[in-house]
């Protein structure tokens, strides 16, 4: 099983939407944050509105930095005429409508990790925000927020709270033993169920644990890519700790900057510095070729190495889905090695064990507690072959699971089968930790996928690594990640010098070395020819009236070679890195869309829950 993925910085790419109510009223995490601005009429001036929204997102980003997360705003859409969805005082209805619109419209136009609606509509009761839980990197990754305070930090605190639910965080009051380092009168913590007159600045101990559990168990891969600085909304800003166009570094403002390699005022490298940050930057110098910059974190991970030309470690690559792991107990899935045993321990504690097969057979009932899938039509019973891909049954461990809710089935003979469940209000979450994890082994060459025990062939061609000639393995893009010294695409060519790690692991330099003798011979030949021409000049006589005295009409046998500008000449260029294994999506430019909205069409509702 891979080690926790929470140590490296995560990015949330955020798209922000503001509705017509405040316009009438209304991530990096690499959060592509989409902000729907429901505020235009309230602020009248679009520039004033944009400035307020950037203040809100900047504060959310500041709060999440303590968790080694960054929140990056990559898009903003302002509904200036009428809203594209029904923005109801009922926050649940608004959330349903917003997430449906996101899946059917926004995601087709702009890639992002998370979308946030900011509205000036006054939600019913004391509610100022609502979100789906455990939904980051899914179709339901989003929330709705009421801009309830003159101070932008008020809306920022709400957004940070709701985004926390997307990342699997519970309310602090709902977790036994949760501790917050600040008292309520000093702001308390972000995930407190309600907020006072002073806004929170920190996360509680249980929020950090919840986040770690989410990153370990759900493995939200959208958070692992690094944002393209050209995508960031609002253009380059020196001091925001994002290295953007025209900047060599960005260590924050003068008060924040502690980087000895970067000038905080100019966002340029200090004299003599080659770099300022990155896994391949040490003492302001780029680390040498081939030095490991990212260790293998588990059975399903691959190591990466510095290229010698960049301060950044190449994009993280993992083994192909379906590769054996856990000493044969499982198969890799998205960099993890999921298993029944590990999930039981995660839910119920280290003493927990997988229940006997007789417990899993009860998944054929197809009710709320025992099933294989939940659909719009209700709970779907497992077929006999799929019972170990439905509800996860465990024994021993703690009295209650980390979800704080359980269902215990007692069989004839006293055998107990424990199932972790979510609270009723959380029944609409996208990922249910009480189900057998996707990718878990359910037989020889069989894995769980969508509540069914399916052949490994669902991942593609079996044993992709066979094409790597025993000198590498297939990565998550089904390309050879070659051993040091061997080059892709099939690890069958060896080069004099390599740079491991970027995609397949090599930068080809040996080609130049191979052709060097030939180049030297050509140069020597040309020099010898010129020496001969100088020592033994040949007389040339132009024929009268032929026009051959004009160099353009000289006899071709004695003419110099002239290359036309449009000639297909191929020059030997600098060695190029092999294509990256990065799963980073094609960059799209950041934008703001000011939309005079058309009439609202029919909206298909999706299930919601209050949190």
> What integer pLDDT is reported at residue 120 of this predicted model?
87
Domain borders along the chain are 11-168+218-223, 236-277, 339-437
- Tell me the longest C-alpha to C-alpha distance in the chain: 119
> How many other β-carbons are positioned within 10 Å of the β-carbon of residue 99?
29
List pLDDT tens digits, range 520-561: 676 776 666 555 555 444 333 333 332 222 322 223 333 222
> Mean of the per-residue pLDDT values for the chain?
77
CB 421 within 8 A of CB 403: yes
Decide if pLDDT at 225 tops 80: no
DSSP letter at 468 equals: G
State how far the Cα of 2 lies from the Cα of 215, in Å rounded to an integer.
11
Decide if pLDDT at 80 tops 80: no
> What is the per-residue DSSP string for 156-213?
HHHHHHHHHHHTTPPPGGGSTT---SS-GGGT-BTT-SS--SSPP-B--HHHHHHHHH
| Residues 6+ away with beta carbon under 8 Å from 447 | 322, 331, 333, 439, 440, 441, 453, 454, 456, 458, 459
List pLDDT tens digits, range 337-380: 999 999 999 899 999 999 999 999 999 999 999 999 988 888 99
DSSP letter at 535 equals: H
161 among the known binding-site residues? yes
Rounded to the nearest angstrom, the gap between the alpha carbon of residue 33 and the centroid of all alpha carbons in its chain is: 12
pLDDT band at residue 196, thresholds of 50, 70 and 90?
A: confident
Fold classification of 11-168+218-223 is Collagenase (Catalytic Domain) (3.40.390)
Catalytic residue among 13, 77, 162, 247: 162
pLDDT band at residue 425, thresholds of 50, 70 and 90?
A: low
Encode 262-331 in three state secondary structure.
EECCCCEECCCCCCCCCCCEECCEECCCCCEEECCCCCCECCEECCCCCCCCCCCCEECCCCEECCCCEE
Structure tokens at 521: 């011979």
* Span 161-173, average pLDDT: 94
Report helix, strand or coil for 418.
strand
Is 256 annotated in the active site? no
Higher pLDDT, 216 or 12: 216
* Span 139-159, average pLDDT: 93
> What integer pLDDT is reported at residue 388 of this predicted model?
96
Give the global pTM.
0.60
Decide if pLDDT at 259 tops 80: yes
369 among the known binding-site residues? no
List pLDDT tens digits, range 385-422: 999 999 999 999 999 998 888 999 999 888 999 999 98
Phi, psi of 221, rounded to the nearest 5 degrees: -65, -20
171 among the known binding-site residues? yes
State how far the Cα of 348 lies from the Cα of 342, in Å rounded to an integer.
10
């Amino acid at each position: 099983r891979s080690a926790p993925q929470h140590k490296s910085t995560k990015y949330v790419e955020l798209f922000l939407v503001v509705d017509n109510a405040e316009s009438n009223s209304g991530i990096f995490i690499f959060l592509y944050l989409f902000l729907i601005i429901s505020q235009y009429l309230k602020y009248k001036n679009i520039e004033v509105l944009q400035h307020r929204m950037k203040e809100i997102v900047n504060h959310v980003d500041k709060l999440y930095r303590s968790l080694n997360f960054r929140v990056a705003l990559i898009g903003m859409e302002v509904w200036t005429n009428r809203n594209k969805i029904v923005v109801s005082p009922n926050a649940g209805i608004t959330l349903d409508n917003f997430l449906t619109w996101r899946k059917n419209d926004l995601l087709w136009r702009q890639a992002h990790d998370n979308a946030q609606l900011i509205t000036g509509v006054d939600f019913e009761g004391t509610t100022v925000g609502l979100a789906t839980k455990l939904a980051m990197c899914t179709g339901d990754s989003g929330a709705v927020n009421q801009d309830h305070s003159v101070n932008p930090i008020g809306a920022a605190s709400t957004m940070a709270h709701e985004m926390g639910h997307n990342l699997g965080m519970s309310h602090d009051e709902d977790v036994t033993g949760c501790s917050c380092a600040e008292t309520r009168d000093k702001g308390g913590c972000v995930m407190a169920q309600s907020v006072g007159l002073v806004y929170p600045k920190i996360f509680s101990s249980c929020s950090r644990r919840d986040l770690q559990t989410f990153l370990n168990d759900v493995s939200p891969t959208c958070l692992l890519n690094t944002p393209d600085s050209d995508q960031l909304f609002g253009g380059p800003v020196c001091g925001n700790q994002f290295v953007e166009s025209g900047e060599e570094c960005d260590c924050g403002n003068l008060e924040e900057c502690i980087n000895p390699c970067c000038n905080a005022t100019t966002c340029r490298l200090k004299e003599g510095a080659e770099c300022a940050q990155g896994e391949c930057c040490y003492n302001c110098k780029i680390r040498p070729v081939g030095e490991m910059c990212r260790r293998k974190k588990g059975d399903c991970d691959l190591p990466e190495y510095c290229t010698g030309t960049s301060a950044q470690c190449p994009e993280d690559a993992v083994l192909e889905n379906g590769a054996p792991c856990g000493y044969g107990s499982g198969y890799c899935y998205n960099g993890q090695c999921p298993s029944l045993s590990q999930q039981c321990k995660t839910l119920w504690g280290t003493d927990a064990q997988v229940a006997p097969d007789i417990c899993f057979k009860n998944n054929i009932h197809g009710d709320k507690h025992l099933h294989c899938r939940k659909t719009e039509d209700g709970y779907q019973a497992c077929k006999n072959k799929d019972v170990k891909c439905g509800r996860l049954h465990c024994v021993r461990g703690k009295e209650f699971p980390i979800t704080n809710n359980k269902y215990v089935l007692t069989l004839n003979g006293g055998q107990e089968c424990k199932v972790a469940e979510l609270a009723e209000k959380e029944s609409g979450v996208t990922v249910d930790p009480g189900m057998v994890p996707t990718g878990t082994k359910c037989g020889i060459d069989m894995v769980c996928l969508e509540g069914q025990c399916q052949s490994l062939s669902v991942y593609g061609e079996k044993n992709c690594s066979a094409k790597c000639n025993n000198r590498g393995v297939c990565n998550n893009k089904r390309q050879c990640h070659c051993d040091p010294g061997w080059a892709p695409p099939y690890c069958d060519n060896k080069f004099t010098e390599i740079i491991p790690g970027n995609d397949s692991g090599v930068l080809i330099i040996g080609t130049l070395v191979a052709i060097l003798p030939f180049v030297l011979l050509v140069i020597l030949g040309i020099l010898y020819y010129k020496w001969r021409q100088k020592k033994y000049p040949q007389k040339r006589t132009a024929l009268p009236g032929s026009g051959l005295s004009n160099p353009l009409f000289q006899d071709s046998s004695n003419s110099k070679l002239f290359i036309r500008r449009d000639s297909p000449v191929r020059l030997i260029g600098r060695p190029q890195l092999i294509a990256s294994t990065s799963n980073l999506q094609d960059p799209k430019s950041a934008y703001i869309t000011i939309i005079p909205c058309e009439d609202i069409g029919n909206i298909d509702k999706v299930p919601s829950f209050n949190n």
